[in-house]
Structure 1
């Protein structure tokens, strides 16, 4: 999987990342991974903190040395899943200040709430809570409802990523459920919006390339609500040989466009890492200015990164 870089308007290491947060160093190329299947060893600048196997995942927690000079993730704690070692969540436990931004695509998710008709957000694919932490930090009136398939991931998140503290601190605004996000029980139109970040075996879930899945998920969100989606891209390194990240991204976007209608999907593409947003494009100067006015300075640059999705060109 190729590495991606997402420019972010915050004073953090600024050039990292991926669709599933793959940093600039790589464990193997996709071809090498195909030749040597299984879990890849950690690079020398990572220290293993925990190693857990569940029916769903091989979960590793690893720390990047804070003394890793020039490393964009120096001092970070990483949640690694899948054989290729994709990063699914990260935090900076040694950071002196409480800013939860990660300098990854997850920060773009935190820009969504001002566009929602009501302050409630479903997070489908909760991971260790990196997105939820930023959402709760920047939007004090927002409630977050997360779904995570693997209870072992949540246990690791509570032990090593501060999720237990986050749940105590925001007990009235954060609820995390164990279960399949695609079968989430929620009242029709019950949420102002939803984040979708669903991967398995290093690839966007196959169900997300089906129009019917998006029509069903759309039912969770208010009629004028929005969804923001991690669609992957060419930089995704899947465990399954032949499951190309670029093709999966294209199929996911086509399914979304068919489900939500022409002109109702926008995309953000940075070096092959794609995030999609549903709803009318926010490209008119007045609309973009109004969105920025409701965001903290750290998140305003994301407003200018969206463009309408063109189903004919795939962009």
Structure 2
């Protein structure tokens, strides 16, 4: 498939102010693919390593004084919390709002005040449009709209259809993550549905499907069933692709029997039964099995793909590898 140049809007980087504390309580966060879930470390558990000035990653903790809870309640489907991270925090999430939906504290949406890219798997999702045919893109597991925002801002012609099971999550997105403004800004390009994402369909099929379906801290069981992937494959138009957040060992489920690495492997095996060798995997995190995304279809010309992406997204292209079971 040939790649066409797309109009990419520039991004304005947000300066992070660094602050250091002698003693602090640490919160650890996970964006479902990048680090350990939310944990609180007391002062007595701190090590000398925690006090050493250094460049922090998403796997490092955030001092509790830099975190503000601005919403916290239980809906029918989720334990919803919205956190606001101080701009002064010594952390890549400084200046962001985070949506947590399960007890372990996995992040399901993130937004920054002065930038669009997130340096998380949402950015990998945003690299999909150049390698699919024209047509609507489905987001299964819409959350508060992190992926939709990137697609709409990066690609002027893209139309997004998002499915979210929990209406309260959509309400939170509108209240705290700018989703209401996004809907007003793109009334003909953004369509949101509350309901079962696995029943998603549009006339003539989707050109691309982004799958981000977690429940209680684990990929939903349906994704370990080849029949689910066959159904999703049939909802694609010719040349369409599916990109999936398949999690990994970093994803902590409420049910300890749902080991993140095992669930990831079972999901990839189910996908392989449907897509065969036309399946690629991208690994994120510090370890090979830490977190992964999957992409269906023949791996495209990587150089051509990179040329139509901003540099901040093109860095992910060379990370794709054919699936090896």
- Report TM bin, short chain: 0.7 to 0.9
**Aligned-pair distance for 1:182?**
1.2
Q: Distance in 2 between matches of 1:110 and 1:207?
A: 24
- In the alignment of these two chains, the number of paired residues is 279
- Seen in structure 2, the aligned counterparts of structure 1 residues 13 and 78 have a Cα distance that, compared at 3 Å, is farther
| Match of residue 310 from structure 1 | 324
| Match of residue 20 from structure 2 | none
Q: Calculate the TM-score normalised by the size of structure 2.
A: 0.80
Aligned ranges 1:1-315 → 2 under 5 Å: 18=30, 20=32, 26-27=38-39, 43-68=64-89, 70-93=90-113, 95=114, 99-187=115-203, 189-261=204-276, 263-271=277-285, 272-282=290-300, 287-311=301-325
Asked if the contact 2:86–2:95 (Cα under 8 Å) also holds between the matched residues in 1, the reply is: yes
Which ranges in structure 2 are unaligned for 5 or more consecutive residues?
Answer: 1-10, 17-27, 42-62
Q: Distance in 1 between matches of 2:29 and 2:119?
A: 8
**Aligned-pair distance for 1:210?**
0.4
> Which has the higher Rg, Structure 1 or Structure 2?
2
1:227-284 Cα shifts (integer Å, max 9, x gaps): 10000000010000221000000000010111112x21100012311000000023xx
Q: Calculate the TM-score normalised by the size of structure 1.
A: 0.83
Q: Distance in 1 between matches of 2:86 and 2:180?
A: 24
- Seen in structure 2, the aligned counterparts of structure 1 residues 20 and 295 have a Cα distance that, compared at 3 Å, is same
Q: Distance in 2 between matches of 1:143 and 1:45?
A: 37
SS of aligned partner of 1:234: coil
- Seen in structure 2, the aligned counterparts of structure 1 residues 17 and 121 have a Cα distance that, compared at 3 Å, is farther
Extract structure 1 runs of 4+ deviating beyond 4 A. Answer: 9-14, 16-19, 21-25
- Seen in structure 2, the aligned counterparts of structure 1 residues 116 and 300 have a Cα distance that, compared at 3 Å, is same
- Seen in structure 2, the aligned counterparts of structure 1 residues 305 and 136 have a Cα distance that, compared at 3 Å, is same
Q: Distance in 2 between matches of 1:243 and 1:131?
A: 26
Q: Distance in 2 between matches of 1:304 and 1:185?
A: 31
1:170-219 Cα shifts (integer Å, max 9, x gaps): 111111111110122433x5110100000000000010000000001111
